[in-house]
Structure 1
Amino acid sequence: MTTSVLDPAAFTFTRRVWVPASPREVYDLVSDVTRIGLWSPTASRVRYDDGAGPVPGAWFGGHNRRGDREWDSRSQVLTADPPGEFSFVVGGIADGIVRWRWLLRDDHPGTIVAQEWRLLRMDPVLGTSHQEVARLRDEMALSAETTLLGLARWLHERTAAV
């Protein structure tokens, strides 16, 4: 089965974690894309373009690594709605491939943080068969879990030190 007949929606996932911080504190952390390297096993050197920040339409770039593969990516902010949602599209809103979405829900005294990965369209860079795209999705799900647990650990250590 080639990517032209695969349904991108079939590869969506969401992972969640509880963190010891308010939704606004978490929103400020995740919308500051320069911090993602603190928790993500994949992304590093992420920076907004000069003069840009966490507002819809803003662009940022970053460096990614998965196994032996490394690449640079460009992303565009889709949603910046504090304190509940921050999302961006890898490749840009007009023709992007993947949407990453952070959803934050108050769960006093902390926050339920959800990270969603959604394919917007199929592209050979993702893989050319169902098995290859499913493997990518599974790798990205593991990366999201690691990122969320890293964020929770980082916040817990910061809270414990106060």
Structure 2
Amino acid sequence: MTATCPDPRNPLAGIDLAPFAFTRRCWVDATPDSVYDLISDVSLIETWSPSAGGVSYAPGDGPWAGARFSGRNRRDGREWVTHSEVVRADPGTAFAFVVGGADDGIVRWDWRFHEQGRGSIVQQSWRLLRADPILGDTLQDVHSLRDHMADSAESTLLALAEWIADRRTPAGHRTRTRTR
């Protein structure tokens, strides 16, 4: 019987990734098409997210599958740049991207939009696709990252709902924000 040694370059190789996912939901006072327009304009994410900023599409890219964008992330006093690829862009329905790119990504973010009453349920999901040393050296590091991202998603959804509510016209008509 031979014992295998953990890979010193990736001590988390082989971990069960199932626990490293979450979904959060929030109702917003806007149509699914309007919310899609906001979310798919990745430059707006810093308007609501406490941990992302400086996000922009690569020159010539936009909200379609295969488009690439980059942005800064913040956590625990640190800041770093990520590069992502849009993997789903269904106007009014869903928008998804993979941090690191579709072929070798680390994390997938999914946004889904469902009509409910006069507004929409906005669902934001996060899923770890593979363990990578950049995420930390221990299982606790990865759990901490997931918890941080879940808190960030909740804050983002609440800020999005408030931002939309603040932009309603006084007569009760919703403004449709077109960002393309």
TM-score w.r.t. the length of structure 1 is 0.96
Please identify the structure whose Cα radius of gyration is greater.
2
Matches within 5 A, 1:13-162: 13-159=22-168, 161=170
Change (3 A) 1:108 1:69: same
**Structure 1 unaligned regions, length at least 5:** none
TM-score w.r.t. the length of structure 2 is 0.87
How far the C-alpha of 1:129 sits from its partner, in A, is 2.0
After superposition, the C-alpha distances for 1:11-57 in whole angstroms (9 at most, x for unaligned) are 10001100000000000000000100100001111110111000000
After superposition, the C-alpha distances for 1:69-98 in whole angstroms (9 at most, x for unaligned) are 100110000000111100000000010100
**Structure 2 unaligned regions, length at least 5:** 1-5, 172-180
How far the C-alpha of 1:99 sits from its partner, in A, is 0.3
Question: What CA distance in whole angstroms lies between the structure 2 residues aligned with 1:9 and 1:66?
Answer: 23
1:9–1:120: 8 Å Cα contact kept in structure 2? no
Q: For residue 32 of structure 1, what is the amino acid of its counterpart?
A: D
1:99–1:118: 8 Å Cα contact kept in structure 2? yes
How far the C-alpha of 1:160 sits from its partner, in A, is 5.2
How far the C-alpha of 1:128 sits from its partner, in A, is 2.3
Question: What CA distance in whole angstroms lies between the structure 1 residues aligned with 2:120 and 2:75?
Answer: 29
Q: Runs ≥4 in structure 1, deviation > 6 angstroms?
A: none
How far the C-alpha of 1:108 sits from its partner, in A, is 1.7
Question: What CA distance in whole angstroms lies between the structure 2 residues aligned with 1:160 and 1:137?
Answer: 37
SS in 1 for 2:62: coil
Identity of aligned residues (%): 53
Q: For residue 99 of structure 1, what is the amino acid of its counterpart?
A: R
How far the C-alpha of 1:161 sits from its partner, in A, is 4.6
